[in-house]
């Protein structure tokens, strides 16, 4: 994974980058890229990922597996190292939606050790997802998610998947999420601010690495520990976040970003007055090459353009494989209202019951029934 969940490619790992089983010259996505690559290569039946701004869905899409970002609070965060305390969600990465439902059955539910885990009944996701038709289901296509700059192959795969959902009986209409343009800015602002605060505890005294100072100066101990213990991307974000929270800038940056977050939530709420779920691409491109974006943080941040809004937006989202571009998997998001994981799993089940994209394995997977040509 990317260190502290910060990244979209696994190249910010403190150890070494994970490679994409479909093409070892390409990234598996991030930050939970190892979790997705392991399932894609059949090293395990399922894995868990952590999604603060796409880290389950984006690797799922790049590696051709199914990934569910449950609603914030649906799964306990106990034991998780906090990145953005109000966005972080744990969820399953699996080959198909049925396995995702089974894993969610086990991990969902109230946990007194996480004060924000919600105390509401957990449906049986195993039963919720036996469905093959979508008659009466209304699906919204957010116009803002099909903007310029999208890979034509990705667009074609998602548009074909939408037509398939329609053929299963769903009614499809265009909707608007007008504040989508602000999602990346507010996400990275809130993320850097909260991460800088959350990571303050890694000071060499209470948590994490502890480098002895030369002499007994505690400041020297902090400086050495934090200087050596964090990778470059983590340091960049701590510095950006500390700046955004500093006196005189708090109102202009953090407070403002929180206000725009409310607008994003309202966008989703309005859309869900009209439709049951939203369909969108996971990423504007398939997996990119290792090294392609690592020197340009802004370019890397922009690869999250379709996934980050769900977290500040407070919704749940399922990523399912929906095609290939030049041998690389493409993913589609099924976004649902807060706490309605059963709904997105049901739509995903109807899709996977009648398509085969989730059944392909990369040629070098451990139990390869043959790669996709
Ligand atoms: N790409 C996002 C980031 O770098 C992913 C974060 C996450 O979901 N953990 O912040």
Best probe residue, ligand 1, of 1, 8, 28 (max atoms within 8 Å of C-beta): 8
Determine the average pLDDT of the residues in 82-91: 96
Q: Is residue 110 in a domain? A: yes
Q: Residue 128: which pLDDT band, with cuts at 50, 70 and 90?
A: low
Higher-confidence residue of 315 and 221: namely 315
Q: Is residue 370 in a domain? A: no
Residue 366 pLDDT more than 90?
no
In Å, the largest CA–CA distance within the chain is 72
Check if 194 has its Cβ closer than 6 Å to any atom of ligand 1: no
Q: Residue 92: which pLDDT band, with cuts at 50, 70 and 90?
A: very high
Check if 191 has its Cβ closer than 6 Å to any atom of ligand 1: yes
Q: Is residue 162 in a domain? A: yes
β-pairing verdict for 171-175 and 138-142? parallel
- Return the pLDDT at 63: 98
Residue 373 pLDDT more than 50?
no
Number of independent structural domains in the chain: 1
Determine the average pLDDT of the residues in 21-41: 97
Q: Residue 222: which pLDDT band, with cuts at 50, 70 and 90?
A: confident
CATH number of the domain within which 127 lies: 3.90.1300.10
Q: Is residue 149 in a domain? A: yes
Residue 213 pLDDT more than 70?
no
- Return the pLDDT at 208: 78
Q: Could you report the per-residue pLDDT of 147-190, keeping only the tens digit for each? A: 888 999 999 999 999 999 999 999 999 999 999 999 999 999 99
* 286 CA → ligand 1 middle, Å: 17
Lowest mean pLDDT among 39-43, 110-114, 145-149, 211-215: 211-215
Atom of ligand 1 nearest to the CA of 52: 8
Determine the average pLDDT of the residues in 313-338: 98
Q: How far is CA 323 from CA 175, 189, 228, 354, in A?
A: 24, 33, 42, 13
Q: Is residue 332 in a domain? A: yes
Determine the average pLDDT of the residues in 293-316: 95
* 304 CA → ligand 1 middle, Å: 8
Check if 31 has its Cβ closer than 6 Å to any atom of ligand 1: yes
* Cβ contact 293:68 at 8 Å: no
Check if 3 has its Cβ closer than 6 Å to any atom of ligand 1: no
Check if 304 has its Cβ closer than 6 Å to any atom of ligand 1: yes
pLDDT over 90, % of the chain: 87
What range does the domain containing 352 cover? 3-171+277-359
* 302 CA → ligand 1 middle, Å: 11
Check if 55 has its Cβ closer than 6 Å to any atom of ligand 1: yes
Residue 368 pLDDT more than 70?
no
- Return the pLDDT at 141: 98
Q: Is residue 249 in a domain? A: no
Q: Is residue 373 in a domain? A: no
Give this prediction's pTM: 0.96
Rounded Cα distance, 141 and 62, in Å: 21
Determine the average pLDDT of the residues in 275-294: 97
Check if 6 has its Cβ closer than 6 Å to any atom of ligand 1: yes
Check if 29 has its Cβ closer than 6 Å to any atom of ligand 1: no
Lowest mean pLDDT among 91-95, 127-131, 280-284, 290-294: 127-131
Q: Is residue 10 in a domain? A: yes
Reading across the β-sheet that carries 138-142, which strands appear in turn?
A: 46-51, 89-94, 66-69, 316-325, 328-336, 277-281, 138-142, 171-175
Tokens representing residue 187 in the block: 């996400």
Output the DSSP codes for 119-177: -SPPP-HHHHT--S--TT-EEEEEGGGG-TT--HHHHHHHHHHHHHHHHTT-EEEEE--
Residue 367 pLDDT more than 90?
no
Mean model confidence pLDDT for the chain: 94
* 152 CA → ligand 1 middle, Å: 25
């Amino acid at each position: 994974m990317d260190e502290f969940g910060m990244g979209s490619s696994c190249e910010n790992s403190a150890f070494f980058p994970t490679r994409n089983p479909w093409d070892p010259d390409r990234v598996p996505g991030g930050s939970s890229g190892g979790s997705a690559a392991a399932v894609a290569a059949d090293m395990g039946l399922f894995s868990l990922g952590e999604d603060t701004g796409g880290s389950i869905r984006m690797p799922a899409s790049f590696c051709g597996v199914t990934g569910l970002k449950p609603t914030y609070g649906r799964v306990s965060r106990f034991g998780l190292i906090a990145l953005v305390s109000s966005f972080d969600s744990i969820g399953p990465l699996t080959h198909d939606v049925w396995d995702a439902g089974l894993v969610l059955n086990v991990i969902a539910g109230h946990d007194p050790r996480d004060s924000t885990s919600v105390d509401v009944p957990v449906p049986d996701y195993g039963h919720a997802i036996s469905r093959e038709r979508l008659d009466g289901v209304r699906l919204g296509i957010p116009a803002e998610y099909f903007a310029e700059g999208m890979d034509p192959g990705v667009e074609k795969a998602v548009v074909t998947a939408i037509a398939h959902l329609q053929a299963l009986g769903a009614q499809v209409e265009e909707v608007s999420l007008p504040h989508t343009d602000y999602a990346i800015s507010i996400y990275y602002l809130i993320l850097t601010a909260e991460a800088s605060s959350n990571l303050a505890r890694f000071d060499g005294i209470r948590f994490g690495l502890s480098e002895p100072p030369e002499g007994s100066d505690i400041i020297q101990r902090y400086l050495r520990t934090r200087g050596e213990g964090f990778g470059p991307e983590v340091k960049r974000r701590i510095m950006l976040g500390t700046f955004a929270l500093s006196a005189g800038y708090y109102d202009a940056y953090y407070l403002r970003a929180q206000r725009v977050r409310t607008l994003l939530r309202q966008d989703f709420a309005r859309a869900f007055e009209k439709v049951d779920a939203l369909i969108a691409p996971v990423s504007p491109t398939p997996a990119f090459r290792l090294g392609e974006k690592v020197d340009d943080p802004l370019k890397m941040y922009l690869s999250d353009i379709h996934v980050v809004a769900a977290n500040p937006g407070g919704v749940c989202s399922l990523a399912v494989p929906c095609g290939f571009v030049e041998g690389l998997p493409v993913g589609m998001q099924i976004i649902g209202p807060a706490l309605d994981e059963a709904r997105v799993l049901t739509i995903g089940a109807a899709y996977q019951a009648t398509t085969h994209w989730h059944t392909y394995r990369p040629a070098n997977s451990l139990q390869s029934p043959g790669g996709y040509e």
